[in-house]
Structure 1
C-alpha cells in the first residue's frame, strides 16, 4: 500500500477530484463527431419541450389551470432539468451517472402524462401522497405497441434495464472496477473518454427527450391543441434518431392540421370569459353548490342571506 499523501488536488498536483479527467475528456469530446451530431438533436428536443412548459406556465399564471395541469407541469419541468443534467454529466465523462438521470426523465415524464389525465391522482400527489410506479407503467401500456420478440412492452423493458443502472446492482457497479472479463481491477475514479460509451449515452438522452415530447402529446387535452409545426418537428426528430423504425402512425396532412388548429383556436375563449360564463350559467358546479348552501341555510335559519356570486364564493373560499 502506498503512503497517504492527503489525496487532495494540491498534494497530487492535479485538478480537484470533482473535475479530475474532465479537461482532457472535454477536449476529446469537443473534437468528436458524435457530440457534433447528437448535441444539436438534444438541444432541438429540449427546445420543443421548453416551449410547451413555458406556454403551460402562462396558462397557470392566468388562473385557468387545475391541479392535474400544475402537477404535470412540475413533473415535466423536472424531466427537462434531468435531460440537461444527463447531458452535462455525459460530456464530463460520467456516463453511468448520466444514464441514472435518463431514468429520472423516464419516470418524471411518465408520471406527468398520468397526472395530466387523472385529476383525482393529481390531487393526491399535490397533497404529498405517493403514486405507485406500477400504476403509471400500467397506464403507459395503452400508448405502447408490442414489439416482436420482446416478452414485455418496450416501456417495461426500458424500465427493467434502467433499474439495473439506477440501483447499486452488480450490473451498475462492477463495470466501474473492471473494463472487461480479463482486465485487472482498476476503479474508474476520474473521467476517461470513450467514443462508444459517449455515443450510447447521448443517443439514449436524445431518445428520452423525444419520449418526453410523445408523452406531452398524450397528456394534452387533445393533440389538436398543440401547434401542428411542433408535432411535425417531433416527428422529424424521431425519424432522424431512429430511421429504421416505422413512424407511419405519426404521418399527418400537416396543412390540414394547421387549418383544424386555427379553427379550434377561433372558438376558444380566455380564462376570464370562462369564469364569467360559469358565474352566469345556473347549472355550473359552483352555482349548483351555491343553491344547495342557500337551501340548507333556509332550513336552519328560516331565511338565507345572499351568499354572493360564484366568483365571490370562490374568493372567500380561497382566503
Structure 2
C-alpha cells in the first residue's frame, strides 16, 4: 500500500511544531526516539527526519513526497517545488542588518559592501534586482557575529523577534520577504501519493481554520435578537434556540480570533448575557 513520505526538520525551530500539527490532524505515531523514519499507525504516512538544508533536494528527487519546510528555505533552493499551503507558524523575515552605530539612507548604501549570509542565492537575486553590487560571504550559522569580527559590513539572515540582532549590536534595515512554514510537494509526486496528500491537506486546513475561530454561546432577550444577529453573522447565520424562560433565547455562533474583544464588547452593549467562549478543535467547512 502506498504511504505518503513527509519530510520534516530533524531538529530546530520547525521540528516540534511540524510534528504537533500532524498530531492535531489525528495522525498517531509509533515511538520516535532516535528514529529517522517514523510511521503513522492510523494514516498512510511516514515522517522522514532530515537536515533542513537537504529537504529541497529530497523533494526534487522524489525521495520525499511532501515536506513541512520554511518558505525561506524553498526560496533559497530555487527549485521546482510547489508550495501547497502556508501553515501560519514559524513566521520570520529574511532581512539585511547592519551595526547599530552606522547610518543607513537606503539600499544604495550596500554598494561595494561585504554581506555575510547563509542565503547566498536569495541575497544575489535581491541585489541584482536592486542594481546593487556587493561581495557576498557565505557562512553556515552564527551569521550575526560576522560584522563584529570584521568579516562583513552587513548580514542577511532570518529574523523573528529581532532579539538576536539586538544582542549582537545590529539593526534591521531591509526586509527581503516574509516567511513561514509551508507544506510543499515534490514535482515527482505520483497520483496515489497525491490522493493521500489531499486527505492530509483537508485535515490540516480544518485544524488551521479552528485555530483562528472561537465558538460563542450567549443568552439574549428576544427583542435583542435581530441586533445581536447583526453582530454575530457566524459561518452562515447564528443558531437561535428558545430558552425555558419565556422571552429569552440562546444564540450560538463562531467569531474570528482577530475580532474577539471588539465583538464581545458589542454583544454586551446589545444586551447579551451569560456569554460563553469555547475553543474549537477542528472546523470543517
State the TM-score bracket (shorter-chain normalisation): under 0.3
Structure with greater proportional strand content: 2
TM-score (norm. length: structure 1): 0.24
TM-score (norm. length: structure 2): 0.26
**Rg (Cα) greater in structure:** 1
